[in-house]
Structure 1
Amino acid sequence: MTIMTTGRLRQYSLVIAATMLMTLTACEKENESSDNSVTEEEAVEVMAQGVSGESGGLSTQVESTAAVAAATPATCGYSSSDTAFGALNVVRGNITYSYEGSMNRQLVCDGGLPQSFSFNYTGENSYTGPRMSSADNTSAGFVITGLSPLTAQYVFNASYVRNGTQQSKVRLQRSIESKLTITSSNITVDKITKKIVSGTVSVVFNGSVVGKAGSGNASYEGSFTFQGNRTGTLVLKNGASYTIQW
């Protein structure tokens, strides 16, 4: 997976200390705070991997669910519960991922016509890549509409949550405990290719550095827009923008 940051403008104010001692003290406190908190770079890596199909993230789960929906009998009242599913040691690029869990699904009709397909699961996800590895407990809820054979795309209303621990392999190389929450109401998937075409998701990261005294909870929020062809753009609330390819 490739993450490229685009230009952004930040303004800084500088207060000149009266003595060298005050300046050094301020720098030490700033460095200490930086070392004890999850950085934007670390959070963006977790957020990007949570969406990317290269690490078994939301994209993989949505596209796999679209394939299940296409194979589900269009019989009103159809339901299936506690069905085991998963994939082990899948290699995509330079990342290896696994996931497994148990799912429930149900086809909902109105007036004898299929209206929506609901899919819920809980399980475990993990990935190992050159920049980060992760082990997470995962829960997801998808409601799929656009079931009519006259429409070319499925539309996903999605909720996807990952709680786990990440190990960074770059810069400070720290362990992070995090919760990643991704929601959307407009992910569209081509019915023929079963690939995501478009859509925007809200991405919220909350996490802290493992083993750092005084490490507070860091929060980063943004939106990710799918642009097709396994690409998208993550824009944080602070204006930082990242183009992601997988």
Structure 2
Amino acid sequence: MKRERITFSKAALLSVCLSVGIIFTISSCKKDDSTTTDTISDDDVSEVVSQSVSTQSGGLVTQSTAAASMTSDFNSARTGAKLTDQCGIMHDTTIAGASIAGAAITYSYNCSWNWLLSCNNLVPQTYVWNYAGKASYDAPRMSSNDSSKANITITGLGGDSTYYVFNQTYVRNGSQTSKINEKRSFTSVITITSADIRISKSTLKVISGTGTVSISGTVTGGKSFTRTGTITFLGNDKATLVLANGKSYTIEW
């Protein structure tokens, strides 16, 4: 197998690591009535999960749309590339950066990608992308130091489909300090397993899809916690997070 190192997709990968200037909001459909003093609230859970999904901190949506963008670039007349030319060729790149002075949300990052197209008789079948990185952010509702990794399989590569189909496992491991409710500090491991996320080939935006979420961690000076939930992608830069206890939150990016 031939290995090739390329950098032409740096702009897309920059947005994968951290995307700035897009504001997301999280609104709870039910009041968080948690009264515990040694664990985190449902609002804290929704916040850290939402950060793992949103573009604001280089979450699942950002990396998915960037992978879709790079897949399109390989099959684009403007680059002179053909998707079939990539069969069996491993690509990789690494990139790092930080926010500008005075930014409303400060961050730094270092991340890497590798990707491989599998073909059958030169007919593209699946694109497999792997991502790993480290990032820190300081946002209005939470600050965090994270490491993350993801394995993404993309199908729907043929011209008969108007969207790419993503199935992926995304894991984000970090230390967070909440700025809401009891302002807890905690560590967490978040796993999001998504199913059939559809991304438009024309707009490179998420159209639909679902995901299961599990989060576990330990509050500083307190107890361990575990939560589960589901994410439903609604299109129009929105998703709904529903925790296992029925509490519902809206994510916008």
Task: Tell me how far apart the structure 1 counterparts of residues 231 and 96 of structure 2 sit (CA, whole Å).
Answer: 25
Judged with a 3 Å threshold, the aligned counterparts in structure 2 of structure 1 residues 98 and 152 are, in CA distance, closer, same or farther, namely farther
Partner of 1:227: 234
Task: Tell me how far apart the structure 2 counterparts of residues 152 and 201 of structure 1 sit (CA, whole Å).
Answer: 21
The Cα offsets for residues 45-90 of structure 1, whole Å up to 9 and x where unpaired, read as 1011111122221111111111111123412534234411356428
Partner of 1:195: 205
Matches within 5 A, 1:140-219: 140-210=150-220, 212=221, 215-219=222-226
Mapped contact 1:182–1:201 kept (Cα < 8 A): yes
Q: Say which SS state the counterpart of residue 99 (structure 2) adopts.
A: strand
Q: Say which SS state the counterpart of residue 37 (structure 2) adopts.
A: helix
Q: RMSD in angstroms over aligned alpha carbons?
A: 2.4
Aligned partner of 1:229: which letter? N
Task: Tell me how far apart the structure 1 counterparts of residues 228 and 145 of structure 2 sit (CA, whole Å).
Answer: 21
Task: Tell me how far apart the structure 2 counterparts of residues 38 and 50 of structure 1 sit (CA, whole Å).
Answer: 17
TM-score, normalization by structure 1: 0.82
Query: Are 1:4 and 2:14 an aligned pair?
Result: no
Query: Are 1:119 and 2:119 an aligned pair?
Result: no
Partner of 2:19: none
CA shift for structure 1 position 206: 0.6
Query: Are 1:242 and 2:252 an aligned pair?
Result: no
Report which of the two structures shows the higher radius of gyration computed on alpha carbons: 1
Task: Tell me how far apart the structure 2 counterparts of residues 89 and 146 of structure 1 sit (CA, whole Å).
Answer: 35
Task: Tell me how far apart the structure 2 counterparts of residues 229 and 90 of structure 1 sit (CA, whole Å).
Answer: 29
Q: Say which SS state the counterpart of residue 160 (structure 1) adopts.
A: strand
Could you tell me which runs of 5 or more consecutive residues in structure 2 were left unpaired when the two chains were aligned.
1-23, 75-81
Mapped contact 1:56–1:97 kept (Cα < 8 A): no
Aligned length: 221
Q: Say which SS state the counterpart of residue 200 (structure 1) adopts.
A: strand
Task: Tell me how far apart the structure 2 counterparts of residues 126 and 66 of structure 1 sit (CA, whole Å).
Answer: 25
The Cα offsets for residues 201-226 of structure 1, whole Å up to 9 and x where unpaired, read as 1111111112x0xx232011111111
Task: Tell me how far apart the structure 2 counterparts of residues 90 and 46 of structure 1 sit (CA, whole Å).
Answer: 24
TM-score, normalization by structure 2: 0.80
User: Kindly, what percent of the aligned residue pairs are identical?
Assistant: 40
Aligned partner of 2:71: which letter? A
Aligned partner of 1:158: which letter? Q
Task: Tell me how far apart the structure 2 counterparts of residues 87 and 157 of structure 1 sit (CA, whole Å).
Answer: 28
Task: Tell me how far apart the structure 1 counterparts of residues 169 and 113 of structure 2 sit (CA, whole Å).
Answer: 14
Task: Tell me how far apart the structure 2 counterparts of residues 85 and 188 of structure 1 sit (CA, whole Å).
Answer: 27
Aligned partner of 1:40: which letter? D
Could you tell me which runs of 5 or more consecutive residues in structure 1 were left unpaired when the two chains were aligned.
11-29
Judged with a 3 Å threshold, the aligned counterparts in structure 2 of structure 1 residues 7 and 164 are, in CA distance, closer, same or farther, namely closer
Partner of 1:22: none
